[in-house]
Amino acid sequence: MRTMGVEEELLLVDPESGSPAAVAGSVLADAAARAGGHPAGEIEAELQQQQIEVETTPTTSLTEIGTQVRDWRHRADELGRASNVRVVALATSPLPVDPRTTVKPRYRAMVERFGLTTMEQLTCGCHVHVGVESDDEGVAVIDRLQPWLPCLLALSANSPFWHGRDSGYVSFRSQVWARFPTSGPTRPFGSPAAYRAHVDELLASGVPLDGDMMYFNARLSRHYPTVEIRVADVCARTADTVMIAGLARALVDTTAAAWAAGEPAPGTDPDRLRLAQWQAGRSGPRGDLVDPVGGRPRPGPEVIGALLDYVDDALTANGDRDTVHAEVERVLAHGTGADHQRELLERTGDLSAVVRGSAELTLA
């Protein structure tokens, strides 16, 4: 059974106003001083001082993923309270914010190179690492799972607000992140050599700073023997994160099996994939999505159902079917994190209340 690991980026917010607070340095200093009480994994700095990242350790158990994510959310919130902030799983801040970039040479270079794209980039994603046996298998997986990644974005959508306004999207994070020139879907590569040649070509342009700026929706990890799937918003609920991790592993299992059976990769067009991703970030799983096979609009629940059918054997073999299906059904029936935020605003008329309510949901 393949291992999984999750990286979650989390906002640090004032507990009353809900405004993001640039206190990551003090939170991480406190974390270092009290390292003995942490769950397995890591807590780290991120691009902006109003956010942190927590990472689980690799595991084959979806239940263990849920336990680690929940434990890290609680531990990070406990550390945040010592610096008079709460930790909240929001992919963008509902309230206006002036991000403060973390003081590191690499981030300073990113500000110099990309200007406002870096300075305004206060977004939080959920990245799932899934183990692969080789780079050959990893590239084969990346080539084959691209059409289904917009479904993961739709199910995780948790960023409807931007600078105090409703963006009109369920995932405006996906719009903001797309401003980086190396982000998004990729064409089929066919081999690790072709993948590396593509990365080398991008680096030779002088636009990306380094290999870590290959912000593809799915990429070979530079540090672990994994495929890293990076398309999802940070999820509102721990159960949503578990759902995304289970689907990500099942996609890797299913596409790796197709490659091993000699099935060719689909001839996916990055331009069409970008349209499908845009639609997923606009409407979410309960509106229309782009059919991964036909490329035409189709009701979101039907497209999500097609995803579940596609990965059903893998979900069953991993023992994840009941857990993933139950959470997908809950999201389709009751909405995403974005829907929850909009409902809170409609009920309270107060974006600060949206943040406070989301902070409670983060730990639920």
pLDDT band at 267 (very low <50, low <70, confident <90, very high): confident
| pLDDT at residue 357 in the model | 97
Across the range 299-309, mean pLDDT stands at 98
**In this predicted model, what pLDDT tens digit does every residue of 184-220 receive, in sequence order?**
999 999 999 999 999 999 999 999 999 999 999 999 9
User: Does residue 38 surpass a pLDDT of 90?
Assistant: no
Based on the structure, what is the number of domains in the chain? 1
Instruction: With residue 353 as reference, give the H or E element that holds it.
Output: helix 351-362
| pLDDT at residue 310 in the model | 98
| pLDDT at residue 34 in the model | 87
| pLDDT at residue 35 in the model | 78
- CATH number of the domain enclosing 43: 3.30.590.20
**Residue 178: burial class (beta carbons within 10 Å; 0-12, 13-18, 19+):** middle
pLDDT band at 36 (very low <50, low <70, confident <90, very high): confident
340, 249 contact by CB (below 8 A)? no
Q: Which residue type sits at 77?
A: D
How far the first Cα of the chain sits from its last, in Å, is: 29
| pLDDT at residue 179 in the model | 97
**Domain carrying residue 41:** 4-362
Q: Residue 158 carries which DSSP code? A: -
**In this predicted model, what pLDDT tens digit does every residue of 137-172 receive, in sequence order?**
999 999 999 999 999 999 999 999 999 999 999 999
As a whole number of angstroms, the distance between CA 345 and CA 348 comes to 5
| pLDDT at residue 106 in the model | 96
Structure tokens at 199: 């990365």
C-alpha pair distances (Å), 102 with each of 97, 173, 234, 261: 15, 19, 20, 46
| pLDDT at residue 3 in the model | 98
Q: Which residue type sits at 221?
A: S
**In this predicted model, what pLDDT tens digit does every residue of 122-132 receive, in sequence order?**
999 999 999 99
49 phi, psi to nearest 5 deg: -75, -5
Contacts of 141 (CB under 8 A, 6+ apart): 132, 218, 227, 251, 252, 255, 256, 259
Share of the chain above pLDDT 70, in %: 100
Exposure on the CB side of residue 354, measured as CA atoms within 13 A: 28
| pLDDT at residue 115 in the model | 97
User: Does residue 268 surpass a pLDDT of 90?
Assistant: no
C-alpha pair distances (Å), 39 with each of 35, 71, 146, 322: 9, 6, 33, 26
The three-class DSSP label of residue 120 is: coil
User: Does residue 81 surpass a pLDDT of 90?
Assistant: yes
In DSSP notation, 285-332 reads TTSEEE-TTT-SEEEHHHHHHHHHHHTHHHHHHHT-HHHHHHHHHHHH
pLDDT band at 39 (very low <50, low <70, confident <90, very high): confident
242, 318 contact by CB (below 8 A)? no
123, 180 contact by CB (below 8 A)? no
Mean pLDDT of the chain: 97
pLDDT band at 330 (very low <50, low <70, confident <90, very high): very high
In DSSP notation, 252-273 reads HHHHHHHHHTTPPPP---HHHH
Question: Which has the closest alpha carbon to 129: 274, 316, 3, 11?
Answer: 3
User: Does residue 50 surpass a pLDDT of 90?
Assistant: yes
| pLDDT at residue 98 in the model | 96
pLDDT band at 180 (very low <50, low <70, confident <90, very high): very high
As a whole number of angstroms, the distance between CA 94 and CA 20 comes to 9
User: Does residue 37 surpass a pLDDT of 90?
Assistant: no
**In this predicted model, what pLDDT tens digit does every residue of 270-300 receive, in sequence order?**
999 999 999 999 999 999 999 999 999 999 9
